[in-house]
Amino acid sequence: MYIEESIQHYLDELASAQPTPGGGSASALSGALGAALASMVCRLTPGKAGYEEVQSEIEQIWEQTERLRARFAQLLQEDIAAYGQLAAAYRMPRGTDEERSERAATIQQRLAAAARVPLEVVEGAATITSLCRRIAEIGNVNVLSDILASTALERAAAEGAAAMVRINLRPMKNAQLAAELEERLANAWQSVEQGRLEVAAIVGRRA
């Protein structure tokens, strides 16, 4: 589990010629960093004078940012596993007709899995961005620049992971499934883009 190893080790493995970890995993980590910053702003709000009325709401938001931070940390690892499984499918034997058909079916199945992991990163980034909008409205005004950093990291998570989703959708033969995943991707991405503009506007007014 990379999450239990040092940052230096993860960076070294990312920079290496090994195919994993790659952009999908790094995007999940960016999502976790953004979620952690959102959690920090939530933690720095209750108990401060002037924030009594929002205390219970911000604590509920904090539970959600923490849950997603944990999920992003899992996705960092799941992306590596899904990519490894897909690469193994491409290496399956294709000597006989039966082998070729078995290999093709396995590839299709694992393409879907390899698309779903980064898609969940994009959707998680959309959720954190939407929580950041509310934090920007009611959170401690002294740490709102950390909310800007959080939405920037969520946008990077969404953008990098979206590139990985698209790569896995391209060779997908089930057109209905591909269209369904693509629609989820488009919705989540739009929500990230719209949300970050709203967060920037709110922080600009309050800070």
Q: Under the rule (CB under 8 A), what is the footprint of a copy of itself?
A: 2-8, 10-12, 14-17, 22-24, 26-27, 29-30, 32-37, 39-40, 43-44, 65-66, 69, 73, 76, 143, 145-146, 148-150, 152-153, 155-156, 159-161, 163-164, 166-167
**Closest distance to a copy of itself from the beta carbon of 137 (Å):** 17
d(CA 140, CA 132): 12
Q: How far is the CB of 96 from a copy of itself (least distance, A)?
A: 28
Closest distance of CB 32 from a copy of itself, Å: 6
Which CB sits closer to a copy of itself, 63 or 99? 63
- Residue with smaller CB distance to a copy of itself, 105 or 201: 201
Nearest approach, Cβ of 154 to a copy of itself (angstroms)?
8
Residues 6+ apart with CB under 8 A from 157: 27, 28, 30, 31, 34, 72, 121, 122, 124, 125
* Torsion angle of C-alpha atoms 185, 188, 191, 193, degrees rounded to 10: -50
